[in-house]
């Protein structure tokens, strides 16, 4: 007596199952990618820009920003000159060349947290179009 086993599924059912697995895998991959992108985006810092008044030294400036005194080395930031041209770090910005005076300036920075957990503001841009000296 010979007993033939019936197939568990027809080839049409197998193709349907394969399609469900394929589409399910694609959906899962998209969901994981979107979640990782969202999580990484939450840790991105926003760029801040403010007009501040501070003291201009020989090679650095300092100013009050909120409740903290901030500052940066003048040659360490990119800057826009009075006519709108941009300059890479390296030179002291033309608009802050008068050492020993107070000036109003527009600066941009990002808050940073280092790998060891130290939080600080990284200044990266100065706009000379908004800069003028105050007082005598």
Tell me if 65 sits within 8 A of 17, measured CB to CB: no
Q: What's the rounded Cα separation, in Å, for the pair 31 and 109? A: 33
Residue whose tokens read 């105050």: 134
pLDDT of residue 9: 53
Task: Give the C-alpha distances (Å, rounded to integers) separating 134 from 6, 50, 56, 81.
Answer: 93, 17, 11, 19
117: left (phi over 0), alpha (psi -120 to 50) or beta: left
pTM over 0.85: no
Q: What are phi and psi of 89, to 5 degrees?
A: -60, 155
pLDDT of residue 62: 95
pLDDT along the chain (136 residues), means of 10: 58 70 74 62 76 94 92 94 94 91 95 92 94 84
């Amino acid at each position: 007596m010979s007993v033939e086993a019936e197939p568990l599924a027809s080839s049409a059912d197998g193709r349907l199952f394969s399609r469900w697995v394929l589409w399910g895998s694609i959906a899962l991959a998209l969901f994981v990618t979107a979640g990782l992108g969202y999580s990484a985006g939450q840790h991105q810092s926003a760029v801040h820009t403010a007009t501040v008044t501070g003291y201009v030294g020989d090679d650095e400036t300092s100013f009050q920003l909120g409740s903290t005194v901030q500052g940066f080395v003048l040659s360490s930031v990119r800057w826009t000159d009075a006519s709108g041209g941009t300059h890479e770090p390296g030179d002291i910005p033309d608009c802050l060349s008068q050492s020993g005076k107070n000036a109003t300036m527009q600066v941009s920075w990002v808050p940073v947290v280092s790998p060891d957990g130290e939080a600080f503001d990284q200044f990266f841009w100065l706009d000379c179009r908004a800069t003028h000296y105050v007082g005598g």
